Structure 1
Amino acid sequence: MMTSPPLFKFKFDLKQVSLLLCSFLFVSLACGQQEKLWLQFEGNSGPGKGKKIVLISGDDEYRSEEGMPMMAKILSAHHGFHTTVLFSIDPEKNEVVPNYKNNIPGLEHLRDADLVIMLIRFRELPDDQMKYIDEYIQAGKPIIGLRTSTHAFNYGKENKSPYAKYHWQSTVSEWEQGFGRKILGETWVAHHGHHAVEGTRALLDGIQAEAGHPVLKGVKDIWVASDVYTVKNLGEDAKVLIHGIPTKGMEPDTPINWGKSLMPIAWTQSYTSEKGNKGKVFTSTMGASVDLESEDLRRLIINAAYWCLEMENQIPEKAKADIVGDYKPTMFGFDNFRLGMKVTDFE
């Protein structure tokens, strides 16, 4: 004759099951956090409260995967913006791999973004990701493009994507020289300074500074390690805010190389999408992660965010640009990114 198990035994088994379930949920949550594919920072109190900024990193040289999260934290902690940071991700390992040029998860966040800040280089994204960038452009929303974003996209000759017109050497009518030329004002031309040998001394445009251009508010002293780019063909409504001249070395106190001419290194302009919508643009050929050690460069980008969002009247006399947490950027260079990094390592 079979008998029922004792009641205390039944209760003990339930407790074991509960403990096992709790352990499983804890491990699952921990694993889920490790596999995060983008970062988000809630805005504290500030003028930007309620506005959403998406920062897109994705270049294989200037360590935007380090610089963009740092800027996002500043914009959220000091100015109240809600920020989302996207990365180039190797889908097999879910690791941040700047050399992986075909995958930036999370671009759907552009659908409700108020502003995009990007530093990307030679990406060839699949259509189901690229469509969000195109939708953003067609809506005429504002953009801040840094450094290599002038040559953000590089499509292979056999690629028949409808977005191949974004290619940095595009020959498509109305999209000649692609995203850089049409949207930001210039495509890739050349290094004007001696790359990785000469830095850049920034010289404020006297007319714009005297006129009190809001983007220059509180900006006085910028030196960066990245060199001056050649800029030849800015749009008709472009306003050059800062000119750059090479320095004879990679330290802020090295002399200026007066043998080389000035080049625009920061400007504003507008673009008009194929749907007829007009968008505001701020472009700077500065922006490497080590460049962003310059407080006034960080302040310039913050001011530009306010200006792009039609908030120029709320730009402080000296916008707070203090770094949030630790920031130890890697010197720019190909293949020198930190290996095995997960998105959460940049929080």
Structure 2
Amino acid sequence: MKNHKYLLVAFLICCALGLPVTIFATTLGANKPKESKHVVFLISEDPLNYEAHLTVPPFAEMLDEKYEDLKITVLKGEGTHGAYRFPNLEVLEEADLLVVFCRRLALPFDQMTSLKNYLRSGKPMVGLRTANHGFSVRDEVEPGFEGWWGFVPDILGCENNGYFPEKLGTIVTAFPNTEGHPILADIDLKNWKSKGQVYKVKPIIDPNAVILLNGKPRGKSDIEPIAWTRTTAYGGKVFYTSLGYPTDFKQAPFIQLLINSIHWALEKE
């Protein structure tokens, strides 16, 4: 097993150089132990999806190399916003955790049913950035496909109310009294800044959501929640962060946040 610190450094270098790794619709770690937890990523390639198709695959490979107890699958589909299909989505039936980083997709009826069945079974989910409009389709939906506007309020526990100008970026700070939360473990919050714009999500719909991080646009007094946890009505654990800008994947605090959130989601209460 390679040294974990070297793997993290190698991953950050890969992202800094913009090196894509084609692992879509591929399950990594074929020789992992049977008891390994299966993490499935759903991503889409879209000019407005912040290069998820370039940033997530190397992150997934790093997870696979670093953690013997994690089995990783990355699924990237094809199609238009109004008619999009993921390959091998039946893998959700055996998934232990779903990670969503896709934008405004209508799926075939059977695939949307599979997604809803997974989440309504009480299994956990991690949502990144555009997940807060992941299945909210504005385009005309083709026959046989459907969007899911309820995904955002029902699963993420928020609304999508737009965003601040990109040029302002995000100043990241901890929400008060979050010291000791496992998702924030080993993260240096000092001087954490993202080049990505702040998403407007206030007010959080779920009064029981646990806000972990706030985001503030440079030069503004506005503050928005940018990372939180909640439990769905179906009993599923959810972590969402509106971070996930391409350059975020070059920052150690963000990578550690994702690693921590995945382990948190997989742990049983």
- For structure 2, which runs of at least 5 residues remain unmatched after alignment? 1-21
1:202 aligned counterpart, secondary structure: strand
2:257 aligned counterpart, secondary structure: helix
Alignment of 1:204 with 2:174, yes or no, is yes
The count of corresponding residues between Structure 1 and Structure 2 is 241
State the alpha-carbon separation in 2 of the partners of residues 87 and 202 from structure 1. 29
Within the candidate set 159, 163, 183, 2:155 is matched to: 183
Aligned to 1:339: none
Instruction: For residue 129 of structure 1, report the CA deviation from its aligned partner.
Output: 1.8
Q: Name the TM-score, length of structure 1 as normaliser.
A: 0.64
Q: For 1:88-99, what aligned pairs fall within 5 Å after superposition?
A: 88-90=77-79
Query: 2:209 is matched by which residue type in structure 1?
Result: A
Higher Cα Rg, which structure: 1
1:123 aligned counterpart, secondary structure: coil
User: Does the 8 Å CA contact 1:185/1:233 hold for their aligned counterparts?
Assistant: no
Q: For 1:1-347, what aligned pairs fall within 5 Å after superposition?
A: 38-42=25-29, 50-58=36-44, 60=46, 61=48, 62-80=50-68, 81-90=70-79, 102-155=84-137, 164=147, 166-167=148-149, 178-191=150-163, 193-195=164-166, 197-209=167-179, 212-221=180-189, 222-234=192-204, 235-247=206-218, 257=219, 259-272=220-233, 277-310=234-267
Instruction: For residue 311 of structure 1, report the CA deviation from its aligned partner.
Output: 6.4
1:102 aligned counterpart, secondary structure: strand
User: Does the 8 Å CA contact 1:44/1:76 hold for their aligned counterparts?
Assistant: no
Residue-by-residue CA offset, 1:120-176 (whole Å, 9 max, x unaligned): 110011112222211101211100001110111134677787964x22xxxxxxxxx
| More strand per residue | 2
Classify 1:158/1:146 alpha carbon distance in 2 versus 1 (closer, same or farther; 3 Å). closer
Instruction: For residue 116 of structure 1, report the CA deviation from its aligned partner.
Output: 0.7
Tell me the percent identity.
29
Query: 2:200 is matched by which residue type in structure 1?
Result: T
State the alpha-carbon separation in 2 of the partners of residues 282 and 41 from structure 1. 23
Residue-by-residue CA offset, 1:276-332 (whole Å, 9 max, x unaligned): x310000000112322111110110110111111169xxxxxxxxxxxxxxxxxxxx
Classify 1:227/1:270 alpha carbon distance in 2 versus 1 (closer, same or farther; 3 Å). same
4+ runs deviating over 2 angstroms: 43-46, 98-101, 154-164
User: Does the 8 Å CA contact 1:144/1:283 hold for their aligned counterparts?
Assistant: yes
User: Does the 8 Å CA contact 2:108/2:145 hold for their aligned counterparts?
Assistant: no
Residue-by-residue CA offset, 1:90-124 (whole Å, 9 max, x unaligned): 5xxxxxxx878512212111110000111111001
- For structure 1, which runs of at least 5 residues remain unmatched after alignment? 1-34, 91-97, 168-177, 248-256, 313-347
State the alpha-carbon separation in 1 of the partners of residues 44 and 159 from structure 2. 17
